[in-house]
Chain A
């Protein structure tokens, strides 16, 4: 049950080409929709039936999100693809862009038709030069084949798609900051409400989905919503791309069914580095709470199981840490990341991320104080739920979870001014 959706072209000779994509039935749905003028409601119903949940990390049901779009509102509307894959540990969208760009294009085109948008943007992370070029080439192919543009294949339907390369800011992965960035402004999240569905790009109704979500759409419509739903488990439809990184023998992206046991996923990645034992796993990208080995080994990889165990599936970015890992140092690295990537707009995040990073840095370097762990908990708690966007929470959650599960290690750093793991 692997590589059935987004990675379905990956074993082909030139996976990214239009020809390869068409050979597996690519753009059939798009052509059918254009020809039959499928009712948007039917498409949305199909997406709802698929149980596809947003692959960017929040897991919001895609079909439901589409139903919020005021499709018949007059004026310009937009669909936007979020390919600003910046979460530490995540690299799945990069490989969709590289190996199956046409699935994204078809998915966005169908979304545009369904949601009444004649214009789409794919916002690609600034560092993704190669994927950007690959995607641009695919766009050129699609345009040349008459699959994009005005009056597509004589259907009277218009849809144009552009890619937009980001400037290297993590925060632009936040959907409203992403919109600001496309508008040419500084990437800063907007306060919600209003949500993008009513006030999005250039103030117009906009639907934003993750790359993997869009790329899944053609397959869902080709094979039917129930087919996709059945690939996974109830309420967690489909397959999912997991980026497994860290202390494994064979790191990489793996497309497996939702609900796959963690142990199987770990095995796909070649297991923990030889000679080491699994210590902890961050299951969904750096902003999701860390899980000790014994907890994660009992989990299946889906939204519900991980939530129940106190963490989140996030974007499916599995960071594996073995017993050589200093948890203080790992947290220090992550906290520094959030400190540098905070946009600076709202107070708790701007001030709090720096505070967290400095204290953890101090502890790591042997200048910790006894009251520091309570202080970190306190500061993390004060950031959470009080910021404009999720970055504040993303910075706070690892801190709380690292201290919760590995408090002794932090205490050791404070007491002995050195690491209990590496002896550094």
Chain B
């Protein structure tokens, strides 16, 4: 600690901190543009010049380290003269047309100009004009307004990890841009809008639609991934106009992903379901709530009465609130059915009894960045969980070694020290190889059945290196991503990962699906465990079993059966065969219109209260920001009425908070323990065929809301058609890039243009679900046949 004096106030501040940090801490406001606490120091705007006694010139507070006895004046004549000079220089070439600038009213330059700018400009020359740039569908540019603070450039370099923006040209001709015209592709690109102190970078979808002072700000939680980024919803006249980050150092720091920022557009999709609807003799009719609820409940009752409760099932989207999940399972279990499932994209349920009570990240989110070694198992973490990916990148920047065992050589914004890019059929083998090395390194007893799983000596070098580094790291973690969890041999992958974690002293973490994929486990949204992960008398049917046996009655909550499930075809068949299907949905999804009997409009997250439990186990509740659209109602209210109509007890909730509190009591201190006792996994194989499909969910296709956000969809289109094979495979078949190929899966076939991409193993086809028509042929991670068309 050193003692300094700023404006006559004595302060004790940390040695090594910069003046501006000390001043900020003490609430002494020094104007600034280029300084941003999360970015490196540039000291280029010169706005924070202050007078330091004994220094010949004014010094930039952002770049001047505190020293013992330093006396600083932030508002002395010398300091003010410097600050006002800089302000004058900043304004000479800046357009003074705030009334037509989208940033007007929330502009740092405008604010500071009020305090430090003159009222008349002495500048009589022509102002600089910079040609417009198109950097993609998300960010609007108005580069004439740029003040060259380079916050956006530093954000790209340091935070996003992609040098997409840079300053080209010298002096007054300096411009911020992409150099070669292109759309920025970072999954966090929208944050440059927030760091930009002026109207040079603004939100393209939001631009010119509202003024800052017309909007109200509501706290909320982002509903797309297992992070639960803290956000603000900005609303005007009952409509969400935009989403911006809400600072929470422990969760999302000051950033949010583009998915969280721009998905709000989907709230106002034309196919929002705003009135209850019933299918009467094959025709959809809008109806009253009373009628619809009566019909829904009596229909499901009939199923229970005629076919028995075990013929009734529920599928719940993993981004459903905790309160709704809890109520759905409460209704189902009240009716005598345990067929409750939220693991919509999972395919291997064989080890579900051994699964943790609360499959979690294994470590607090913020602690991820302190790991010395991280092994990604089946994860394109940047796109699946952008903010978790950002933490991994931070760990890497701090020196951590990152490894991956992945089906595709995904492009990360950090370098992988070692990687095993393997055909999904060899994932267990690759993991087993790592585990086997750890057995040797640690001298542990060789677990029975492990040797049998090691099939691929070619993994040896990388596998050994990974094993050694994990073991030495001190603080290390394994993260299971979507292509591990949704893999056909998930049980084996999980078992081996747990073994690796145990032998190497690493934590094991799950990057769960949706906003509440971890929370679902403690809400009881699984067939074999009740709320708080308590044992149930008889285990219900999981998704695979429901699909296998067929169901007479289904309750669908927050899911689009053709897009949110691993096996859309068999799900649709199951629904079509069912006698009665009730869907609680925010959208008139075509697949629901095709398969449901009653559609009940529930509100999306912005229009209701609720709770998401993120992957680190943080319960984050939020309140509605706007009123429900049309006749839509919060799910908890609808489920409460349904519970009562079913004559079930315990559905007299007065608020969502009561539901959460009831659940919280049941959950208590549920163990956060991902460890697993060794049980030799079966080396299950993906059957037959020489080629296998790798199917992952593209970043902007994860849920109904995102799929309806036009700007994000435009951004996703830039990724290409999403049917990729390696050059080697293309040669073998005799295909060129963009050429059509005949694709067969089971008895279905289609003609699809291929994209050549050497990140795909030769024995695989990489299909972006939802984007590519190939994903409609059948499930991912399954044999597939390509023939020259």
Contact = CB atoms under 8 A, between A and B. Distances in A.
A344 B63 contact: no
A348 interface: yes
A350 B174 contact: yes
A348 B46 contact: yes
Contact of A350 (B58, B88, B123, B172): B172
A265 B157 CA distance: 52
B110 interface: no
A6 B65 CA distance: 41
Given A347-B46, A386-B85, A359 B172 contact: no
A53 B88 CA distance: 38
A341 interface: yes
B715 to A, nearest CB: 29
A341 to B, nearest CB: 7
A342 B125 contact: no
A359 B45 CA distance: 23
Contact of A347 (B57, B86, B128): B86
A315 interface: no
A420 interface: no
Contacts of B49: 386
A388 B148 CA distance: 14
A134 interface: no
A339 interface: yes
B86 A348 contact: yes
A388 B150 CA distance: 15
B92 interface: yes
A342 B171 contact: yes
B174 A351 contact: no
A388 B43 contact: yes
A186 B168 CA distance: 9
A354 interface: yes
Interface in A153-197: 169, 171, 186, 191, 193
Contact of B46 (A186, A353, A386): A386
A346 interface: yes
A351 B172 contact: yes
User: How would you classify the secondary structure of chain B's contact residues: helix, strand, loop or mixed?
Assistant: loop
Given A351-B93, A375-B122, A344 B171 contact: yes
B172 A386 contact: no
B167 A186 contact: yes
Contacts of B172: 339, 342, 344, 350-351, 353-354
A359 B85 CA distance: 18
B45 A350 contact: no
B41 interface: yes
Nearest to B83: A386
Given A191-B60, A353-B172, A346 B88 contact: no
Interface string B49-86: 10000001110100101000000000000000010011
Most buried by B among A349, A355, A362: A355
Interface in B81-104: 82, 85-86, 88-90, 92-93
Interface string B102-145: 00000000000000000000111110100000000000000000
Contacts of B714: none
A351 B63 CA distance: 21
Given A350-B148, A355-B123, A386-B46, A344 B169 contact: yes
Contacts of A359: 125
Nearest to A169: B170
B92 A385 contact: no
A359 B124 CA distance: 9
Most buried by A among B49, B85, B171: B171
A388 B44 contact: yes
A358 interface: yes
Nearest to A353: B171
A384 to B, nearest CB: 9
B125 A385 contact: no
Contact of B125 (A186, A191, A355): A355
A95 interface: no
Contacts of A342: 170-172
Interface of A: 169, 171, 186, 191, 193, 339-355, 358-359, 362, 369, 375, 378, 382, 385-388
Rank and list the top 10 A-B pairs by shortest CB-CB distance, nearest first.
A344-B174, A342-B171, A382-B85, A351-B89, A385-B57, A191-B43, A358-B125, A354-B172, A344-B171, A346-B44
Interface of B: 41-47, 49, 56-58, 60, 63, 65, 82, 85-86, 88-90, 92-93, 122-126, 128, 147-148, 167, 169-174
Given A341-B171, A348-B89, 12 more contacts: A339-B171, A343-B171, A344-B167, A347-B45, A351-B93, A354-B171, A355-B123, A385-B56, A385-B58, A386-B49, A386-B57, A388-B46
